[in-house]
Amino acid sequence: MYDLAPLARFGGLVATDLRDVTHDPEALDSTGFWAVCADFEGRLTCARFGDVRPDPVPAPVPGAWRGPAAGAWTSSLDRAAYTAGVRRVREHIARGEVYQANLCRVLSAPLPDPAAADVDALTALLARGNPAPYAGTIRLPAHGVEVATASPELYLRREGPRVSSGPIKGTGRTAADLLPKDHAENVMIVDLVRNDLGRVSETGSVAVPVLCAVEEHPGLVHLVSTVSGVLRRDAGWPGLLAATFPPGSVTGAPKSSALRIIEALETAPRGPYCGGVGWVDADAGTGELAVGIRTFWIDRPEGVLRFGTGAGITWGSDPEREWEETELKASRLVAIASGLHEPGASEATGKAISR
């Protein structure tokens, strides 16, 4: 097995010289630069690095990443199971148990040489083929965290007492594809995020400066809103995470009901997908965590690469359209991980994961 040194990359910085690893969120209010990975199921890993310096993601090195075969991807929920799940969510909505729930599936494919797999080499391919505003890498093989994300979504940004979140809800190939259902979906989650931030923010400080803006990303568009607040003096990272995790955009509303439905319908743990991935500079009182979407992770004991995709389900959801949304979100990324970059190759790979 390759001796992969611990490393993290975020925002044009690379962090090396691992000093400490903890699962205690209190560490994020201490000192130093921390890489943070929070699994959807609640496992938190915080890694403090001693050397942090500017270093752009290097250009891909031919052969450095050996990804899965394009036809090797399988899904935790196939098309029939996923569309049946959408119908089940609509039944819960009809009974008044939930307004929206995010239904996800996990794609998996065996790595041809797991011992040599390096998420940092995959990061280089993602940076070229699918640049993203909250892209990042955490490589901690000894601690079971090897994540490469091309996330377009802000979970939490902290600048001293000021915090903000950028929930995404509503996806299409173009802005013309966005439906009234997409706007309703976004507004529901904005209300949820306002409530979450309000639990730890100064009274009257929570605001929505941006509502349902259309953002373009490689191969698709999203509706994105911004919710902001000012943290109470007694609230730090532990309280902020407790109030807002898992992110509202990948759970549903009400969050507690959506989580119960997700647990009943999904057949695989999400892991870092739909969790939080990013960094915290405890000395500066700043940090930026992405929602762990468009995210790959290496499951080294199983020798596989995993990737999650999903969609927000409302009463207005069409099961087949929601399935196609999950395909759209996955196709370009899994094509990159499988070494396909030619025009049209991502669509072919998307069909390969429908099994």
Q: What is the mean pLDDT of residues 69-80?
A: 97
Give yes or no for residue 8 having a pLDDT over 60. yes
pLDDT of 119-151, one tens digit each?
Answer: 999 999 999 999 999 999 999 999 999 999 999
Please give the pLDDT value at position 41: 97
Please give the pLDDT value at position 340: 78
Please give the pLDDT value at position 300: 94
Residues catalogued as catalytic: 153, 169
pLDDT of 213-247, one tens digit each?
Answer: 999 999 999 999 999 999 999 999 999 999 999 99
pLDDT of 87-124, one tens digit each?
Answer: 999 999 999 999 999 999 999 999 999 999 999 999 99
Per residue, what are the HEC states of the chain? CCCCCCEEEECCEEEEEEEEEECCHHHHHCCCEEEEEECCCCCEEEEEEEEEEECCCCCCCCCCCCCCCHHHCEECCCHHHHHHHHHHHHHHHHCCCCCEEEEEEEEEEECCCHHHCCHHHHHHHHHHHCCCCEEEEEEEHHHCEEEEEEECCEEEEEECCEEEEECEEEEECCHHHCCHHHHHHHHHHHHHHHHHHHCCECCCCCEEEEEEEEEEECCEEEEEEEEEEEECCCCCHHHHHHHHCCCHHHCEECHHHHHHHHHHHCCCCCCCCCCEEEEEECCCCEEEEEECCCEEEEECCCCEEEEEEEEEECCCCCHHHHHHHHHHHHHHHHHHHCCCCCCCHHHHHHHHCCC
Of the chain, the percentage scoring pLDDT greater than 90 comes to: 93
Q: What is the mean pLDDT of residues 239-268?
A: 97
Please give the pLDDT value at position 344: 39
Q: What is the mean pLDDT of residues 254-269?
A: 98
Q: What is the mean pLDDT of residues 323-330?
A: 96
Domains of the chain by start residue, with CATH: 7-352 (3.60.120.10)
Q: How confident is the model at residue 354 (pLDDT cuts 50, 70, 90)?
A: very low
